[in-house]
């Protein structure tokens, strides 16, 4: 937590309100305001926060970009973005009009531009009353991160209040570049001022993994190698690469999904109970899991990894092109669009228990879930009657239809004995009939409050890359070879072989 | 005896035991339909809601509300209707039950609705009917749709069963007295005190949030300790007859308790229905608090129409103003320093139905100390 010293007494009216710790007055300094991310996610999230009265009374957005435009043009652009992408529509023009007054634009093509930005920030502080608190938001392509960070330092853009920086993924493309990026960021910001966004962590159901595990007494005692047979984590997408050909072809599924989202989910499932729900304790425990991941080097890669690329096929009855025929992709591209891994967490709790991870594009169904498969009952007294009954499985569905389900065997109500697997299903949306807050809204409020619990710390990122890099190196030498799968299937045969070797199968997610 | 609407209340049962059997039959019937579609059937209930009503319209409104509420909070609902109509219920009591359809999810029974209609002649009877009907181990919410009466057995008996009392001070016939009664109830301090939810307090939440937000700004925070005047407006109907200042009073009580103001005297202002309090700040400086009725089209009587906090610090005058916009769905939040507008924003103001307020409150389990402190502050003002 940032201890930006202040002599001002706490606000006595805050107590008992929805946000016990409200976001402090802030100027959000946005880089990349015309980009896809800002238009689709960030700006609509800010507007929706205004709608819910969750923005501080003193709040402004100053957008900085190379291409010049007027405040008015910027406001029109934001209005378009919000109108198109907001989760609440139509736009509430009454709220919009006062929100828009606090949107500014400064062109920063050169050093003089950054000096103008510094001047504008001071003016906004004085006008709006943002107390010199600044949240720098890097929504640009990663190549621009370093020059922007250095310009923030060189032109004295840090305010007299708190200064924080939000960095979007990717955080580097390997361990070396990630370390280098952190080094540059640290020239200007302390680590506790850096907020690396992995928007998966802002999702309600991802946070619910922590609640399920640590607010309930009944799961933790069986959450270990004594009772768990294995764990499967799936991030399946039906989408192809859409407009992101250039980025995706350089990154691949490993850097796009595994390094961040999948390893985060793994860490949340496998971590030890933190001593407190705060940024330090939670992230300490996650890092310990990542450190305990058994490395997959060139020797292990053929048996512990599978990769694939989609060919032409069908998604929901519609014919779709193969990866190499997508616009902007080289016809001989060797980029993987599917990854399956078999990982082990080498610690007391998980020794010998495999964690199977998989992700892919153009899979038959959009689904993100964590499935914990328990061991079968040690002594089976219902051998004949229980044929076809599967072991207990606890499934945490992240999207869509967020919820939790548990399968167990039950007696079919007839004379004599027949046992069938039934499903006890908790559907998040049905129990709490409210719209869950959008992940970006949650994360922006947290960043303004200075709560980094749901953000990725430097050592987490570095551990993630340290795990992923050797696998990528093995792949670069062709081990194992790149498989192919038709769009609309559950991935290449190699992925099935990976679990079949252990006598297991992938879930039909 | 007068009949009740069977479509709302279901069929009559001669005894509590018979009523439970009828509910089991209804659940099974609902289950048969679900089983055809391959679903298993579950009864979902996370709480008991006991509704107390003295008028048929209140009872029916609450019953409808609970069905809507069941989407978010599945429950067993026991509606106790103390029918004052002399030709009303039979000599002992009228018991009915029904399983209303809550949504289209087959296989989940989310609400069991029970009617307990009694004459108003024998309060001692109530407890003995309600206790066996409660689902064990689930919290009991008592929703009292009337003004909570002081020293009445029916109230004390049901409160003793409940974990939480839900009232709506907007409907109190004599707000000042009843709020004081509530304040004494939460302050009993005999270990048997009860958590109270006031739906009118929930309506104030967005207003409290907006007031608090002004003073999250460091530059404005010091003005809060330099308040010299407060104005609160509340809605009245056109002829100004229905005066329901509870919500406005709670807002005053909240500020008074949070900021440590001490009441000095209560004056009758020139305006009919208005209130004027003289207080002193923690540092001894006097300040005036004015509560005024306002006729504004579309504002429900009793709802807050506006708020103004005037502060003077080192010769500078600051005003923090919230004003309901003419469209009723927005509030303008303005900060003026020496008469000049420093900040102006428009934010939406939700107008939730009573069920939505209930749904919100049912997510909170513990005591609301801030509300209790506000009530106590009002006790000192009265």
pLDDT tens for each residue of A37-92? 899 999 999 999 999 888 998 899 999 999 999 999 999 999 999 999 998 889 99
The pLDDT value recorded for residue A270 is 97
Nearest by Cα to A14 from B215, B345, B58, B326: B215
d(C-alpha B37, C-alpha B26), whole Å: 18
The pLDDT value recorded for residue B191 is 52
The pLDDT confidence band at residue B29, using thresholds 50, 70 and 90, is: confident
Residue A325 has pLDDT above 90, yes or no: yes
The pLDDT value recorded for residue B357 is 85
Nearest by Cα to B346 from A94, A3, A426: A94
d(C-alpha A237, C-alpha A245), whole Å: 16
Between A51, A101, A131, which is nearest B217 by CB? A131
d(C-alpha B131, C-alpha B16), whole Å: 10
Residues with Cβ within 8 Å of residue A489, at least 6 apart in sequence: A313, A363, A364
Task: Check: CB of residue A388 under 8 Å from CB of residue A407.
Answer: no
Interchain pair A97, B214: CB under 8 A? no
Mean pLDDT, residues A115-119 taken together: 95
Interchain pair B370, A22: CB under 8 A? no
Mean pLDDT, residues A283-305 taken together: 95
Nearest by Cα to B137 from B19, B48, B73: B48
Nearest by Cα to A87 from A443, A430, A433, A441: A441
d(C-alpha B127, C-alpha B130), whole Å: 5
Q: What is chain B's mean pLDDT, rounded?
A: 85
The pLDDT value recorded for residue A5 is 43
Q: Rounded to a whole number, what is the distance in Å from the CA of A402 to chain B's nearest CA?
A: 16
The pLDDT confidence band at residue B28, using thresholds 50, 70 and 90, is: confident
d(C-alpha B93, C-alpha B83), whole Å: 10
Q: Rounded to a whole number, what is the distance in Å from the CA of A462 to chain B's nearest CA?
A: 36
d(C-alpha B161, C-alpha B135), whole Å: 12
Q: Rounded to a whole number, what is the distance in Å from the CA of B346 to chain A's nearest CA?
A: 5
Tokens of A183: 């080094």
What is the SS3 assignment for B20? helix
**Angle between helix A263-270 and A458-476 (nearest 10):** 120
d(C-alpha B300, C-alpha B328), whole Å: 10
Span of A223-237, A249-263, B81-95 with lowest mean pLDDT: B81-95
Residue B88 has pLDDT above 50, yes or no: yes
Top-confidence residue, A432 or A501: A501
Task: Check: CB of residue B75 under 8 Å from CB of residue B45.
Answer: yes
Query: What ipTM does this complex have?
Result: 0.82
d(C-alpha A174, C-alpha A329), whole Å: 22
Nearest by Cα to A333 from A307, A313, A357: A307
Interchain pair A24, B222: CB under 8 A? no
Beta strands in chain B (DSSP E): 11-13, 42-43, 47-53, 75-83, 93-98, 108-109, 111-119, 140-144, 164-167, 195-198, 227-235, 262-267, 275-280, 286-294, 304-313, 316-324, 330-337, 340-348
Task: Check: CB of residue A256 under 8 Å from CB of residue A244.
Answer: no
Q: What is chain A's mean pLDDT, rounded?
A: 89
**In what order do the strands lie in the sheet containing B11-13?**
B11-13, B93-98, B111-119, B75-83, B47-53, B140-144, B164-167, B195-198
Say yes or no: B40 contacts chain A, CB-CB below 8 A.
yes
Mutate to test the interface with A, among B31, B347, B365, B368 (most CBs of A within 10 A): B347
The pLDDT value recorded for residue B310 is 97
d(C-alpha A73, C-alpha A94), whole Å: 19
The domain made up of B203-348 has a fold known as: Dihydrodipicolinate Reductase; domain 2 (3.30.360)
Task: Check: CB of residue B195 under 8 Å from CB of residue B164.
Answer: yes
Say yes or no: B327 contacts chain A, CB-CB below 8 A.
yes
The pLDDT confidence band at residue A462, using thresholds 50, 70 and 90, is: very high
Residues of A with CB under 8 A from a CB of B: 6, 8-9, 11-18, 22-25, 50-51, 53, 56-58, 92, 94-95, 97-99, 101, 128-129, 131, 161, 422, 430-434
Task: Check: CB of residue A232 under 8 Å from CB of residue A371.
Answer: yes
Tokens of B362: 């049912």
Mean pLDDT, residues B152-159 taken together: 89
Top-confidence residue, A449 or B298: A449
Q: DSSP string of A386-422? A: TTTPPPPEEEEEEESS-EEEEEEEEE-SSSS--EEEE
A393-399 and B286-294 strand pairing: unpaired
Span of A116-125, B119-128, B130-139, B365-374 with lowest mean pLDDT: B119-128
Count Cβ atoms within 10 A of the Cβ of residue A137 and give its class: 0-12 exposed, 13-18 middle, 19 or more buried.
Answer: buried
Please count the other Cβ atoms lying within 10 Å of the Cβ belonging to residue B109: 22
The pLDDT confidence band at residue A381, using thresholds 50, 70 and 90, is: confident
Cis, bond preceding B36 (omega within 30 deg of 0): no
Interchain pair B345, A99: CB under 8 A? yes
The pLDDT confidence band at residue B126, using thresholds 50, 70 and 90, is: confident
Mean pLDDT, residues A95-108 taken together: 93
Dmax over CA atoms of chain A, in Å, equals: 86
Residues of A assigned a catalytic role: 261
Say yes or no: B285 contacts chain A, CB-CB below 8 A.
no
Span of A4-13, B235-244, B287-296, B320-329 with lowest mean pLDDT: A4-13
Mutate to test the interface with B, among A9, A52, A56, A57 (most CBs of B within 10 A): A57
**Angle between helix A263-270 and A204-214 (nearest 10):** 20
Mean pLDDT, residues A429-447 taken together: 74
Main-chain phi, psi angles of B68, to 5 degrees: -65, -40
Q: Chain B residue closest to A52 (CA)?
A: B348
d(C-alpha A360, C-alpha A233), whole Å: 12
Nearest by Cα to A207 from A396, A1, A449, A374: A396
Q: Partners of B229 in the beta sheet?
A: B288, B310
Contacts of A15 in chain B (CB under 8 A): 258, 370
Residue B38 has pLDDT above 60, yes or no: no
Span of A65-74, A79-88, A360-369, A432-441 with lowest mean pLDDT: A432-441
Q: Chain A residue closest to B104 (CA)?
A: A430
d(C-alpha A61, C-alpha A76), whole Å: 14
The pLDDT value recorded for residue B189 is 47
Mutate to test the interface with A, among B254, B346, B350 (most CBs of A within 10 A): B346
The pLDDT value recorded for residue B332 is 94
- Cα distances from A311 to residues A333, B316, B343, in angstroms, run 12, 71, 57
The pLDDT confidence band at residue A458, using thresholds 50, 70 and 90, is: very high
Top-confidence residue, B194 or A357: A357
d(C-alpha A77, C-alpha A61), whole Å: 13
d(C-alpha A200, C-alpha A197), whole Å: 9
Task: Check: CB of residue B77 under 8 Å from CB of residue B114.
Answer: yes
Highest mean pLDDT among A83-87, A460-464, B90-94: A460-464
d(C-alpha A37, C-alpha B38), whole Å: 43
Top-confidence residue, B100 or A495: A495
The pLDDT value recorded for residue A291 is 97
Domain ranges of chain B: 6-162, 203-348
Mean pLDDT, residues B186-201 taken together: 74
Mean pLDDT, residues B335-353 taken together: 89
d(C-alpha A451, C-alpha A445), whole Å: 9
Span of A203-207, A461-465, B113-117 with lowest mean pLDDT: A203-207
Q: Chain A residue closest to B329 (CA)?
A: A94
Between B103, B211, B325, which is nearest A94 by CB? B325
Task: Give the tens place of pLDDT for each residue, B165-181.
Answer: 999 998 888 888 888 88
Top-confidence residue, B68 or A337: A337
Residue B42 has pLDDT above 70, yes or no: no
Mean pLDDT, residues B27-43 taken together: 65
The pLDDT value recorded for residue B107 is 59
The pLDDT value recorded for residue A3 is 41
Q: Which residue do the tokens 């299903």 mark?
A: A425
Element holding A135 (H helix, E strand): strand A134-138
The pLDDT value recorded for residue B194 is 80
Residue A402 has pLDDT above 90, yes or no: no
Q: Which residue do the tokens 């569905």 mark?
A: A397
Q: DSSP string of B245-313? A: -HHHHHHHHHHHHHHT-EEEEEE--SSTT-EEEEEE-TTS-EEEEEEEEE--TTPPTTSEEEEEEEEEE
The pLDDT confidence band at residue B268, using thresholds 50, 70 and 90, is: low
Question: Model-level pTM?
Answer: 0.82
User: What percent of chain B has a predicted confidence (pLDDT) above 70?
Assistant: 89
The pLDDT value recorded for residue A362 is 95
Top-confidence residue, A301 or B105: A301
Highest mean pLDDT among A248-257, B66-75, B161-170: A248-257
User: What percent of chain A has a predicted confidence (pLDDT) above 90?
Assistant: 66
């Amino acid at each position: 937590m940032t201890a930006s010293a202040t002599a001002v007494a706490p606000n006595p009216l805050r107590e008992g309100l929805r946000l016990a710790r409200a976001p402090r007055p802030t100027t959000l300094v946005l880089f990349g305001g015309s980009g896809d991310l800002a238009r689709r996610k960030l700006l609509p999230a800010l507007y929706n926060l205004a709608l819910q009265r969750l923005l501080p009374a003193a709040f402004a957005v100053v957008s900085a970009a190379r291409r010049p435009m007027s405040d008015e043009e910027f406001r029109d652009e934001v209005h378009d973005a919000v109108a198109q992408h907001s989760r609440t529509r139509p736009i509430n023009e009454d709220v919009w009009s006062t929100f828009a007054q606090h949107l500014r634009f400064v062109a920063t093509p050169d050093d003089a531009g950054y000096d103008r930005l510094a001047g504008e920030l001071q003016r906004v502080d004085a006008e709006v009353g943002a107390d010199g608190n600044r949240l720098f938001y890097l929504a640009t392509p990663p190549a621009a991160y370093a020059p922007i960070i250095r310009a923030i330092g060189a032109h004295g853009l840090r305010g007299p209040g708190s200064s924080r920086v939000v960095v979007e993924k990717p955080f580097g493309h390997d361990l070396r570049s990630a370390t280098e990026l952190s080094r540059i960021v640290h020239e200007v910001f302390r680590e506790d001022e850096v907020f690396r966004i992995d928007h998966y962590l802002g999702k309600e159901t991802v946070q619910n993994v922590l609640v399920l595990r640590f607010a309930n007494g009944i799961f933790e005692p069986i959450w270990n190698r004594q009772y768990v047979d294995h764990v499967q984590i799936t991030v399946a997408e039906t989408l192809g690469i859409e407009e992101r050909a250039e980025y995706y072809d350089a990154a691949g599924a490993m850097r796009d999904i595994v390094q961040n989202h999948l390893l985060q989910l793994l860490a949340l499932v496998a971590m030890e109970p933190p001593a407190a729900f705060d940024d330090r304790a939670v992230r300490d425990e996650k890092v310990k899991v990542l450190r305990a991941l058994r490395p997959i080097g060139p020797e292990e890669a053929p048996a512990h990894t599978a990769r694939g690329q989609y060919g032409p096929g069908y998604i929901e009855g519609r014919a779709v092109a193969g990866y190499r025929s997508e616009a902007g992709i080289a016809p001989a591209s060797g980029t993987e669009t599917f990854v399956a891994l078999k990982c082990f967490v080498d610690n007391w709790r998980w020794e010998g228990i495999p964690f199977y991870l998989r992700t892919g594009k153009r899979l038959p169904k959009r689904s993100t879930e964590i499935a914990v498969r328990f061991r079968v009952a040690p002594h089976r007294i219902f051998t004949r009657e229980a044929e076809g009954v599967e072991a207990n499985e606890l499934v945490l569905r992240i999207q869509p239809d967020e919820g939790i389900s548990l399968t167990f065997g039950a007696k079919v109500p007839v004379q004599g004995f027949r046992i069938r697997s039934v499903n006890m299903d908790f559907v998040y949306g049905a129990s709490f009939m409210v719209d869950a807050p959008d992940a970006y809204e949650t994360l922006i409020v947290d960043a303004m409050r200075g709560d980094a619990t749901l953000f990725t710390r430097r050592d987490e990122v570095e551990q993630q890359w340290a795990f992923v890099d050797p696998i990528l190196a093995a792949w670069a030498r062709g081990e194992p070879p790149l498989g192919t799968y038709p769009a609309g299937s559950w991935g290449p045969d190699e992925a099935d072989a990976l679990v079949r070797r252990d006598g297991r199968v992938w879930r039909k997610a | 005896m007068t009949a009740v609407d069977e479509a709302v209340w279901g069929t009559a049962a001669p005894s509590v035991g018979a009523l439970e059997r009828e509910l089991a039959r209804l659940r099974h019937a609902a289950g048969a339909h679900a089983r055809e579609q391959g679903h298993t059937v579950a009864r979902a209930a996370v709480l008991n809601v006991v509704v107390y009503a003295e008028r048929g319209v209140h009872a029916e409104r609450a019953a409808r509300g609970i069905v809507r509420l069941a989407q978010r909070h599945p429950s067993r609902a026991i509606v106790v209707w103390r029918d004052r109509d002399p030709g009303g219920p039979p000599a002992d009591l009228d018991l009915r039950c029904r399983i209303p359809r809550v949504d289209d999810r087959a296989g989940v029974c989310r609400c069991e609705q029970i009617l307990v209609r009694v004459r108003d002649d024998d309060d001692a009877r109530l407890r003995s009917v309600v206790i066996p009907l409660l689902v064990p181990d689930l919290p009991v919410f008592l929703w009292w749709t009337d003004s909570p009466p002081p020293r009445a057995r029916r109230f004390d008996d049901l409160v003793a069963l409940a974990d939480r009392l839900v009232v709506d001070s907007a409907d109190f016939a004599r707000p000042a007295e009843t709020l004081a009664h509530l304040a004494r109830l939460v302050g009993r301090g005999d270990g048997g005190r009860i958590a109270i939810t006031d739906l009118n307090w929930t309506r104030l939440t967005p207003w409290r949030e907006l007031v608090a937000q002004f003073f999250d700004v460091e530059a404005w925070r010091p003005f809060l300790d330099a308040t010299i005047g407060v104005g609160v407006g509340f809605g009245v109907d056109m002829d100004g007859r229905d005066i329901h200042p509870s919500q406005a009073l709670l807002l005053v009580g909240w500020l008074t308790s949070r900021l440590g103001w001490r009441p000095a005297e209560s004056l009758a202002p020139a305006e009919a229905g208005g209130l004027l309090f003289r207080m002193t700040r923690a540092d001894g400086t006097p300040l005036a608090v004015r509560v005024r009725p306002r006729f504004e089209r579309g504002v429900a009587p009793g709802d807050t129409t506006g708020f103004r906090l005037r502060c003077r610090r080192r010769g500078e005058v600051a005003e923090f103003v919230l004003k309901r916009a003419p469209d009723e769905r927005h509030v303008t939040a303005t900060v003026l320093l020496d008469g000049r507008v420093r900040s102006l924003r428009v934010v939406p103001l939700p107008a939730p139905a009573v069920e939505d307020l209930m749904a919100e409150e049912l997510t909170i389990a513990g005591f609301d100390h801030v509300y209790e402190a506000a009530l106590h502050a009002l006790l000192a003002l009265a």
